[in-house]
Structure 1
C-alpha cells in the first residue's frame, strides 16, 4: 500500500489499527488477571504482533514509523500487565514480564529474512521486478530523495554489524540480532 509520494504512512497506520483490532478480539484473555503474564505474552506474540507486522518486510521504515509501532506495542503491553504510564514501570521491565522483544528487532528480522529470500533468487525472478529502481541520468526534484527499501536494508546491516553474506544465510543473522548493540 504505497502512497503517491512513495511513503508508507497509511500502511503503518493501517497495520497499527489491525493490531488494535486483534487486541480487542483477544482482550478477554489479555486483560484477565487470572491468566499468567508469560502466557499473555505468548498469545500477544502469536496473534497481535503478526497482525501489526504483516507486510513489514517490504517497508522502508523511517524512525518515526518504528516509534509509532513501538508506542502502540507498549500501550498494549502495559494494558496487558495492568499498569499505566503513571505507575512509572520501565518498558524493559514490562517486556521482561511478558517475554516480548522490542518491535524494532522484529522489523529488522522480517526485513533481513526477506532480503535473504530475494538475494538467493536468480536475477530474472519475478520478485526482483517488483523492486523500485532509481533511474540513472535523470534530473530529480529538490529535497532529500525518498527512503528506499534497499537503503533500509543497508542501514539495518550496518546498525547490527551484519555482513551481506551472513544475511543471505538462512537464519544465521538471527543470532547476530539478539546480541546487544555496542
Structure 2
C-alpha cells in the first residue's frame, strides 16, 4: 500500500473471526469482520492520513461491510464484498445481492461509493445494451454471475470502472488458475461520478497472490464550493484517491503478523511480512 500510495484497500477471503479495528503500523488501520475462522471474511485498510476521517463502519455479513469516511469535505463510502462462488446455491446468491442492494440503498445519493469486490463472475467483453453501466473493454464472455452483477449496476446506477479503460490482457486478468485467465475482481462507483475516474488496471508484477491479482483504481474526488453570489458554485478537486482490491497472500501475511503487546492492545508488526506480499517497501 505504501509503495502504490493506496488510500484504501478492500480485502476478501480474510478468514479472520471477529469484528475489530487494528493498527497496522506506518499509519495504516485495518477494519475487518468475519464469522468463521476458516472461510469468508472481509476487510478494509485505510491510509493513516484518512483514519481520523472514518465516520462509520457497518459490518453486514461475513461477505460484506461498508466504511464511511470524509476526505476534504467529500463523503466516501467504501464497500468490500465477496460474492458466492459459481457453484454456490441459488438462495445464497440471492441473499448476497439483496444485502448489497440494501447496503447501497442506505447511502445518500450525493455521497460517493467505491465498491471493491470479488464478484466471482464475468461481465465479459462488449457492452451492447448496457452502455450506462459497463464499458466495452471487459474480458472474456459473460456468465450468469456476471449478468447478476450487471443487473445490480443497473438497479443501483453504478458503473464497473475496470471496463471503461482500454488495457492489455495482463492489466485486465484478475484471476489465474489451471492455465485459465479470468476477470472476477471489480471496482464500481456511482454512474454520476464515473467522470472522476482516472485509471483502473491490474498490477501483474505485484507478488501479492498466487491466483488473484491486485486491482487498482484512481479517482479524482471533486467537491462543490459555492462562491459568494454564485448559486451554481465551482467544482474543485478535493483529493486524488487510489483504491485497491487484494486477496489470498495479503490476507495470509496479515494473519501471520507478529504482535507486540502494548498494555491491552496487541499491535501487529507488518514490515517484513507485507513486503513479501507486495504491500511494503519504500516509495
- What is the TM-score with the length of structure 1 in the denominator? 0.31
Greater per-residue strand proportion: 2
- What is the TM-score with the length of structure 2 in the denominator? 0.22
Greater per-residue helix proportion: 1
Bigger relative contact order, structure 1 or 2 (CA pairs below 8 A, ≥6 apart): 1
